[in-house]
A and B are shown apart, each in its own frame.
Chain A
Amino acid sequence: QFVLIQPPSASGTPGQRVTISCSGSSSNIGSNYVYWYQQVPGTAPKVLMSRNDQRPSGVPDRFSGSKSGTSASLAISGLRSEDETDYFCAAWDDSLGGVVFGGGTKLIVL
């Protein structure tokens, strides 16, 4: 249903490094920037990563983003309990002429 493909869940223990993947196609990730959003249930999405790997002001450097071809990844190092929430990737899609999102990944901190 969602154009960008994310794993439904990911997990790690405190202090670990986890990565969340986002797979797309040539019309979206392959030709446009990737964005990551963090969403605490019941609140609006918060921009976590902009233009593939740019952290907005206030986002800790534990978070990093990367892109290669038609896939992207969000890495979280030094995992903390407050990181346990939902993460979405997004990109502009040239064929659609609009934004496409991933289905979201629920991060669980064990």
Chain B
Amino acid sequence: EVQLVQSGAEVKKSGESLRISCKGSGYSFSRHWILWVRQKPGKGLEWMGRIDPSDSYSDYSPSFEGHVTISADTSISTAYLQWPSLDISDTAMYYCARLDSGWNFGNYYYDMDVWGQGTKVTVSS
């Protein structure tokens, strides 16, 4: 079974650093991009960035560039989302998702086909 399993909930203080993880299993981890998505309480989904585990190339939504870092370790099939310094506004649920992409009858597809269960991050002052 293809699945992504995320690390557990975190409670942190403003200014602290944090790294959460997303471990893939049941497929070749290096062959699919991993995306990170934020969901603030009661709000919608926001794409944060993505990483190609095969070469660790990553890019970010302008809204998150410079505030978080996405990395991956293919030896343990795990992707990471990291904050050097948390802010109260980072309180949210964070999801990783696998991106399956390719050509389909002349159209390029970007399927976020498998999602992690989410990691809740709570930041207080």
Contacts and interface: CB of A to CB of B under 8 A. Distances in A.
Interface of A: 2, 32-33, 35, 37, 43-47, 50-51, 56, 88, 90, 92, 96-104
B113 to A, nearest CB: 6
A101 B46 contact: yes
Interface residues of B, number: 25
17 contacts: A32-B107, A32-B108, A32-B110, A37-B45, A44-B95, A45-B95, A45-B115, A47-B113, A50-B111, A50-B113, A51-B104, A88-B44, A98-B59, A99-B110, A99-B112, A101-B47, A102-B44
A86 to B, nearest CB: 9
B110 A88 contact: no
B34 to A, nearest CB: 12
Contacts of A35: 111-112
A78 to B, nearest CB: 26
Contacts of B124: none
Contacts of B46: 101
B109 interface: yes
Contact of B44 (A2, A33, A56): A2
B117 interface: yes
Contact of A44 (B59, B62, B116): B116
A94 to B, nearest CB: 10
Contacts of B45: 37, 45, 88, 90, 101, 104
Interface of B is mostly: strand
B25 interface: no
The 5 closest A-B pairs by CB, nearest first: A99-B47, A92-B110, A101-B45, A103-B44, A44-B115
Contacts of A90: 45, 112
Nearest to B118: A44
B23 interface: no
Interface in B21-68: 35, 37, 43-47, 49-50, 59, 61-62
Given A44-B116, A88-B45, A98-B49, 16 more contacts: A32-B107, A32-B108, A35-B112, A37-B45, A44-B95, A45-B115, A46-B115, A47-B111, A50-B113, A56-B113, A96-B62, A98-B59, A98-B61, A99-B110, A100-B47, A101-B44
